[in-house]
Amino acid sequence: MTRDVDATADGVGADGDADALAAVVDSALERALLDETDSRRYFALAGAIVRAREDADAASDPLAAALVCTAAVSALESVPPEPTWSPPDARTELVAAGAVRATRRFDADPDRVAARAGLPLSDLRARLEKERRGDQL
C-alpha cells in the first residue's frame, strides 16, 4: 500500500487518509463549534497544533502528534500565578489561528466562529483575508 505524498493544507492526502495531527485539529475544531463551554480552549488547542505543524512540519508521525497535543493541552490548562515570558495575547493568537482554520475547514459562518472564539469579527475577517492572500498569520 502506498501513501500519496501530496497532502492538502488540511493534512488529507488524495487517497483520503488524514494524518494524526489533522484528525486532532478537526476534532478540536468540531468541539469548539459545538461545545457549550470552553470553545476558546478548543480553538486554542487547534491553533497550537496548526502553529506547531507549520513550524516543525510533523506531518503524520503519531508520536509527534501525541507530544504536540500533550504539550498544547498542558499549556492551555495551566494558569500561572504570575506573568510568564509569553506575551499576554499569545493565547488569543492561538485561538485566532484555530478560528481561521475552523472557518476554512468547515466552511463555518465567520460571525458564529468569531462569537464562539471571543474574537472581534473584524479581526477574524482580516485574518481570513490574509490567509486567502497567502500572507503569514
Is the pTM higher than 0.75? The answer reads: no
d(C-alpha 39, C-alpha 44), whole Å: 9
d(C-alpha 105, C-alpha 25), whole Å: 10
**H or E element that contains 25:** helix 20-34
Tell me the three cell numbers of residue 47. Answer: 491553533
Residue spans per domain, the chain: 20-133
**What are the b/e assignments for 55-89, b being 16+ CB within 10 Å?**
eeebbbeeebbeebbeebeebbeeeeeeeeeeeee
**Mean pLDDT score of the chain, rounded to an integer?**
75
pLDDT of residue 129: 95
Tell me 14's DSSP state: T
Helices (H) and strands (E) in the chain — how many of each?
Answer: 6, 0
Tell me the three cell numbers of residue 38. Answer: 470552553
Through-space distance between the first and last CA atoms of the chain, rounded to whole angstroms: 36
pLDDT digit string (tens) for the chain, length 137 residues: 233 333 344 444 433 334 777 888 999 999 999 987 888 889 988 998 888 777 665 555 667 767 777 777 776 665 544 444 455 577 888 899 999 999 999 999 999 999 999 999 999 999 999 999 987 55
Tell me the three cell numbers of residue 88. Answer: 499576554
